[in-house]
Amino acid sequence: MASLDTIDNFIDGEFCTTDDYLESYDPSTGQVWAKVANSSPKDVDKAVQAAEKAFPLWSATSVDQRSKLLLKIADLIEARLDEFAEVESHDQGKPVALAKKIDIPRLVHNFRYFATYALHDVNSSSIQIDASATNYTVKCPVGVAGLISPWNLPLYLLSFKIAPALACGNTVVAKPSEMTSVSSRLLCRVFQEAGLPKGVVNIVYGYGWTAGQALVEHPRVPLISFTGGTATAEVIRKSAAHLNKKFSLELGGKNPAIIFEDCNFEKCVETTIRSSFINQGEVCLCTSRIFVQRGIYEKFLEAFVAKTRSLIVGDPKDANTFCGALISKQHRDKVIGFIDEAKKGGATLRCGHSVEPLELPDRCQNGYFVRPTVITDLPDTAPAMTDEIFGPVTCVVPFDDEEEVIARANSARYGLSATLWTENVSRVHRIAPKLDAGTVWVNCWLVRDLNMPFGGMKDSGTGREGGKYSTEFFTEEKTICIQH
């Protein structure tokens, strides 16, 4: 292990060693490529102490000053976009080209957006003439924010928490996923270079059940923003039930696409390919149940399967690669398990895993790759139709009418996003409000506006992020009533 790159915790503005390290794998080769601090509760406590110490100064820093620092951070990241994208791909398995186009630009955008949003976030006021009273509110930062993020969009999702937390005057202890910790070190270096005061952001690495759990259970961390799996959120909720913390929980999905006969067919097929398989299907918003109105079912399937077959799976470094490697061997085996189970249950595999061979360059022979797979002829109750697979697998089934498809789309335990394809505007207004989803995209997918609330219902989470929703979460709004 001696020659491996070592990722140390970032506490009080410095990188510091710990007693234990875990192995981080390059998903495209299956080789260990870094060792990452495996923090103990003692390390987490040290980070919380640093964040507490930095809080009085940071929370009293003017919004203008905080904003300037966040803008500087955005500029520094942007200047190193290529380096960030390469490390993010190496760590996560996604194509470098995708990280350059989506992950890192959105990381930059998150910092810029919240830096400038904070400048315009005004307080509300109300005058009661009868009571001779003037009321106004002040928004106070909450304190040390505990931020826990997953591995699929490592820096993009981490910054969607760090940027608003800082803009609102909180200090931070963040724990990225143990599987994708390396790229956040680049972020820590940018924080140092930008002159972010020591202790304002602290990053601890390690497993969820040790470092993550210690952060969740820390009595002096009053709010937790968590993005990850629904099962993990259940553990987190239970372990902090006695602590009365603020929680924001962004969880899993089983997102439907509903495609009507009157859709813009070409755009629909093209976008549904992206919504099913981008980032190897490892996006919480990816489509994994495609309901197609019976009149165009066969036509859709033929076009969709043909395009899926043409997607290039391979080396994330190759500019032509569409699907890179899945995050880990365990995750790849889980994804394949769903496909095999569907097949055993009588479903048809139209393309993908076990249908066409995987042709990989020598460098990637031991990587965790799965061909994009399309499954048909399965009931809505099959595990591939009900459970989050979180990989390049999607199921296509026919439907006949509106009421039926709404009920079937809503039958999942999740409620994160849905996609609706129709040129009939009345139908859009009839159906969209009835879908159990935090976001309904109509004739598009993943068009993100950070001013809008983002989050899920049912088992997809609690709370909303974005614009004023993030600032509400990261502040305590206090009413002050003065009688004169």
Q: Which residues are catalytic?
A: 250
Residue carrying structure tokens 């009588």: 346
Size of the residue set binding ligand NAD (CB under 6 A): 31
Residue 457 found at the interface with ligand NAD (CB under 6 A): no
Is residue 177 within the footprint of ligand NAD (CB under 6 A)?
Answer: yes
DSSP state of 466: S
How far apart are CB 409 and ligand NAD at their closest, in Å? 17
Instruction: Compute the residue count for the chain.
Output: 484
DSSP conformation letters of 171-192: EEEEE--TTS-HHHHHHHHHHH
Specify the amino acid at residue 229: G
Instruction: Give, as one character, the DSSP assignment of residue 168.
Output: T
Cα dihedral 455→457→460→466 (10° resolution)? 10
Q: Which is nearer to ligand NAD, 22 or 339 (CB)?
A: 22
Which of residues 169, 199, 252, 324 is near ligand NAD by CB under 6 A? 252
Q: Does 187 interact with ligand NAD (rule: CB under 6 A)?
A: no
11 exposure class (CB count in 10 Å sphere: 0-12, 13-18, 19+): buried
Give the CA distances from residue 176 to residues 151, 184, 344, 355, 471, in Å, rounded to whole numbers and listed in that order. Answer: 8, 8, 37, 36, 21
Among 93, 143, 208, 415, binds ligand NAD (CB under 6 A): 208
Q: Which stretch binds ligand NAD (CB under 6 A): 32-40, 100-108, 201-209, 335-343?
A: 201-209
> Which range in 77-85, 149-157, 316-324, 336-344 contacts ligand NAD by CB under 6 A?
149-157
Q: Which amino acid, residue 191? A: F
One of 109, 175, 245, 371 touching ligand NAD (CB under 6 A): 175
Q: Which of residues 461-480 bind ligand NAD (CB under 6 A)?
A: 461
- Determine the interface stretch with ligand NAD among 5-13, 133-141, 206-214, 391-399 (rule: CB under 6 A): 206-214
Cβ closest to ligand NAD, residue 93 vs residue 314: 93
Min separation Cβ 92 and ligand NAD, Å: 11
Phi and psi at 394, nearest 5°, equal -140, 150
Nearer to ligand NAD by Cβ, of 162 and 296: the residue is 162
| Min separation Cβ 149 and ligand NAD, Å | 6
- C-beta of 206: minimal distance to ligand NAD in Å? 8
Region binding ligand NAD by CB under 6 A among candidate stretches 24-32, 53-61, 249-257, 302-310: 249-257
Q: How far apart are CA 285 and CA 288, in angstroms?
A: 9
Q: How far is the CB of 414 from ligand NAD (least distance, A)?
A: 9
**Rounded least distance, CB 30 to ligand NAD, Å:** 18
Task: Note whether 392 binds ligand NAD by CB under 6 A.
Answer: no
Closest CA to 141 of 244, 223, 54, 59: 59
Judged by CB under 6 A, the stretch of 56-64, 77-85, 147-155, 305-313 that binds ligand NAD is 147-155
Task: Quote the distance between the C-alpha of residue 127 and its chain's center.
Answer: 41
Distance in angstroms (rounded) separating the CA atoms of residues 233 and 226:
8
> Binding of ligand NAD at residue 335 (CB under 6 A)?
no
Q: Is 229 in the site for ligand NAD (CB under 6 A)?
A: yes
- Minimum CB separation from ligand NAD for residue 5, in Å? 20
CA distance 370 to 109: 31
In the list 150, 164, 169, 314, the residue contacting ligand NAD (rule: CB under 6 A) is: 150
The yes or no reply on residue 48 touching ligand NAD (CB under 6 A) is no
**What are residue 11's DSSP bridge partners?**
14
**DSSP letters for 335-367:** HHHHHHHHHHTT-EEEESTTTS-----GGGTTS
* Interaction of residue 227 with ligand NAD, rule CB under 6 A: yes
**Binding status of residue 416 toward ligand NAD by CB under 6 A:** yes
Taking CB under 6 A as the criterion, the residue among 212, 256, 314, 415 binding ligand NAD is 212
Q: How far apart are CA 306 and CA 230, in angstroms?
A: 34
Number of residue whose CB is nearest ligand NAD: 208
Residue 358 burial class via C-beta count within 10 angstroms: exposed 0-12, middle 13-18, buried 19 and up: middle
CB 179 within 8 Å of CB 36: no
DSSP string, 267-328: HHHHHHHHHHHGGGG-STT-EEEEEEEGGGHHHHHHHHHHHHHT--B--TTSTT-SB---S-
Q: Does residue 88 bind ligand NAD (CB under 6 A)?
A: no
Note the residues at the interface with ligand NAD (CB under 6 A): 148-152, 157, 175, 177-178, 207-209, 212-213, 216, 227-229, 232, 235-236, 250-253, 284, 388, 390, 416, 456, 461
